[in-house]
A = this chain, B = another copy of it.
Amino acid sequence: MKLRLYILFLVCCSGVNPGFSQPGPSLIMTPSGVRTIQENRGKAPLFDQTLSELVIRVDQAMSEGIDVPVPKDLAGGYTHERHKSNFFLLQEVGILFQITGDEKYALFIKETLFAYRKMYPTLGLHPEERSYARGKIFWQCLNDANWLVYVSQSYDCIYGWLTEAEREELNNELFRPMADFLSVETPQFFNRIHNHSTWGNAAVGMIGLVMNDSELVERALYGAGTTSLSTTAEDNDGARIKTNDEMGFLAQIDHAFSPDGYYTEGPYYQRYAMYPFLIFAQALHNKRPDLGIFQYRDGVLLKGVYALLNQTNSAGEFFPINDAQKGMSWLSRELTTAVSMAYYYDDRNPSLLSIIEKQERVPLNQTGMSAALAIAGGKSQPFLKKSVELRDGAKGNEGAIGILRANSNEDQVTLVMKYAKHGMGHGHFDELAICSYFNDKEVLADYGAARWVNIELKDGGGYLKENKTWAKQTIAHNTLVVDSKSQFNANVRKADEYHPRPYLFDVNNPDVQVMSAIDTNSYQGVTMHRTVVLIKNESFENPVMLDLFKVTTSEVHDLDLPFYFDGELLKTNVKLTPENEVSVLGDKYGYQHLWKQAMSKGEKVLKGTWFNEEVFYSITTTSSDEDEVIMGLLGANDPNFNLRREQPLILRRPNVTNTLFASTVEVHGHYSPVTERPINSHSKVESVEVLLNDDCYSVVSFTAINGASWTYAMCSSDSSGETKHKLKLKDQKLEWVGPFMLTFNKINKSKNDK
């Protein structure tokens, strides 16, 4: 606290020019924004604290001097990392110049920019040849565009402070050439509908706005014209480089987001992509209010922020859908900008303030000041996440991500199912895969990407080979594998053409929430219909998941359904026989990375209990002695130890046509090594049984050890809410209206429930 006050004092009193009155900035910082900030210093602790910390960090970095090395390295290497830290620093120094008026900041930016101005014209393409679109400062244009998005903001902050001659020189010798390079000279980078192009568009547009270069702004908004490109060219992720008629920033917005703000590559990339979308939008809002950019497509940009916030566990970590480094969260730099912006430009939604409080910093512009003042004024409210279906596709009709949640605040259970589009180059072959959480703990875990972002020791920080050979493959996910192959035989282009069909999303009853989707394309001739039900009932400590995976096919297939639990297996009801010499499960589609540790024949009901980080997890699933139970172990054919040694339980059902996998997954109890007293360590589900599975209906019952029982019936061919259904089973008649029914029988059974 003392330190903080001291720093504030420094900020107020260090060599300022209090009469500083050059023409103000106009891009992100604005004259009125700067005025608002200066008027409210000392009134918004979160803003003041962010500023104080920035002053310390920036002054330290500036004291280490300027270095603008000749580009040479890949990510992780010195020149790459240095240019990267340069652009972050320049943006921050610009902010400090505007807020404090201290010319040392402006001078630093000027000197650095002139160092770049001196070097840039001497540069050819970057010597590293890996990229489909090589940059000049970095190995790929993407990073050059990152540089320009940040440096535009910095340049804008000193634009009025520079002399006319200085501006001319920088415009003509550095920025305009760079903008041309990133657009007309590299159309395969600039004119796609892709997150790389979004960065390119924003970079070119923002520097255009700073220089009042309307040609660049038009290029950014509408693309750099058509150019002949090979129609089979691919980028480094194996995705096709197509330049459409549609291109430019507005087309990116049209195509990148669904009407619900979902971004088809998934939240990890959306988080990354949102920054250029939002920062360029903020600049357009300030300099081109005529475009009404935040209202564009029903305000889809700000909907995108909410879509991101909803795709998180209770710690704010994004669901690792498609390529994603696990652990990335709403605490990231990009979300710090995005959430304050959503607060300011949308509806000053007070529940966003509680997230900003967790971020513990605000962007140092008027959006951040506005949020910090509101927090200081006690306006913050909890952000309550609800069950939601986020539709995919520009028109919202190409599948979806379904999210079921029970308990908003404590002991939150979250179930996620992907039945959205594949996700292009960063997509995984995981349609109908689920992952789930108990607060911030993974229950059924998705692997995420095989990549250590920016860690040079792991192949320079880029995607590892195992990302393709393992992480993207179907067996790496909590979904069905047919005949030991991946969906679409792991063909990205094929996968990009299809999407599952949302069948049902019903969250009207908080105690029985249902999501359901059908996939008929991932495997030829196989209809997969997965239904996930989240049930709250006093028989269970936490809400229970009922998972029905129905397979309909005329040919005979071998089916594998894996369940990925973290932590230690405590017990199964089948006796697992370990393999003497551990063999590999297959030779492709990810199976080459799995060892077969142990196996068993199935029982009528298969049960297993796991323990991880003080909590117990149990699965109970229908099986038979024709099934095999495999305990896998990840790590085979992994010479560089790139894979985590995870242990899936795989239920293998060979030689079947139509079948239904029915399972419950429970989260229960607690155990700490300090108290050593287990609480509720046993599963409360006694059994699960399939009562009927035909072309139209699936009926499943399950019972708890306290004697309560449930019957879930569902029509799989008619999701209308009005249709009446009648079914006669062996010893009961079922009648209901609408696609599904759950009956609950609380039987007074006196059973010793330990």
Contacts and interface: CB of A to CB of B under 8 A. Distances in A.
A42 interface: no
Interface string A666-710: 000001111111100110000000000000000000000000000
Interface centre among A326, A582, A583, A631 (most CB of B within 10 A): A582
A455 interface: yes
Interface in A263-316: none
Nearest to A325: B673
Interface in A400-457: 452-457
Interface string A566-593: 0011110001111001111000000000
A637 interface: yes
A738 interface: no
A183 interface: no
Given A639-B577, A673-B326, A454 B582 contact: no
Contact of A644 (B326, B568, B582, B678): B568
A454 B674 contact: no
B678 A454 contact: yes
Contacts of A611: 452, 455
Contact of A636 (B454, B455, B578): B578
A454 B676 contact: yes
Contact of A672 (B327, B584, B638, B639): B327
B598 A639 contact: yes
Contacts of A328: 673-674, 676
Contacts of A583: 581
A475 interface: no
Contact of A457 (B597, B641, B682): B682
A595 interface: yes
Interface stretch (A131-139, A329-337, A534-542): A329-337
A332 to B, nearest CB: 5
A722 B576 CA distance: 63
Nearest to A272: B676
Interface in A641-668: 641, 644-645, 647
A754 interface: yes
Contacts of A640: 571, 576
Interface in A595-640: 595, 597-598, 609, 611, 631, 633, 635-640
Contact of A671 (B455, B584, B677): B455
A752 interface: yes
Given A457-B682, A581-B581, A678-B454, A597 B673 contact: no
Given A571-B458, A582-B581, A681-B456, A78 B754 contact: yes
Contacts of A455: 570, 611, 671, 678, 681
Given A635-B597, A673-B327, A673-B328, A456 B678 contact: yes
Nearest to A754: B78
A77 interface: yes
B452 A641 contact: no
B333 A675 contact: yes
A332 B676 CA distance: 9
A453 B378 CA distance: 47
Given A570-B458, A576-B639, A453 B676 contact: yes
A578 B327 contact: no
A457 B570 contact: yes
Contacts of A331: 674
Interface centre among A568, A631, A638 (most CB of B within 10 A): A568
B641 A576 contact: yes
A176 to B, nearest CB: 31
B678 A327 contact: no
B752 A78 contact: yes
A672 B568 CA distance: 25
A89 to B, nearest CB: 13
A383 to B, nearest CB: 18
A568 B466 CA distance: 15
A633 B609 CA distance: 23
Contacts of A681: 455-457
A675 to B, nearest CB: 7
Contact of A647 (B595, B645, B752): B645
A673 B330 CA distance: 11
A568 B678 CA distance: 30
Nearest to A73: B754
A461 to B, nearest CB: 8
Contact of A595 (B571, B582, B673): B582
Interface string A733-754: 0000000000000000000101
A469 to B, nearest CB: 14
A673 B461 CA distance: 12
A637 B582 CA distance: 10
A333 B674 CA distance: 8
Interface centre among A456, A457, A568 (most CB of B within 10 A): A457
B674 A637 contact: no
A174 B694 CA distance: 66
Contacts of A672: 327
A329 B674 CA distance: 6
Nearest to A581: B581
A314 to B, nearest CB: 16
Contact of A569 (B329, B576, B641, B674): B641
B578 A639 contact: yes
A454 to B, nearest CB: 5
A641 B632 CA distance: 12
Contact of A582 (B456, B577, B582, B609): B582
Interface in A165-188: none
Contacts of A325: 673, 676
A160 to B, nearest CB: 32
Contacts of A633: 635, 645
Interface centre among A329, A332, A597 (most CB of B within 10 A): A597
Given A78-B754, A647-B645, A454 B637 contact: no
Given A331-B674, A456-B681, A458-B570, 18 more contacts: A76-B678, A325-B676, A327-B672, A452-B570, A452-B611, A454-B676, A455-B611, A457-B571, A457-B609, A457-B681, A577-B639, A578-B637, A581-B581, A582-B595, A597-B635, A598-B639, A631-B641, A645-B647
9 contacts: A76-B678, A329-B673, A331-B674, A455-B611, A576-B641, A578-B638, A581-B583, A581-B584, A631-B641
The 9 closest A-B pairs by CB, nearest first: A327-B673, A569-B641, A582-B582, A457-B570, A457-B571, A453-B676, A645-B645, A581-B581, A331-B674
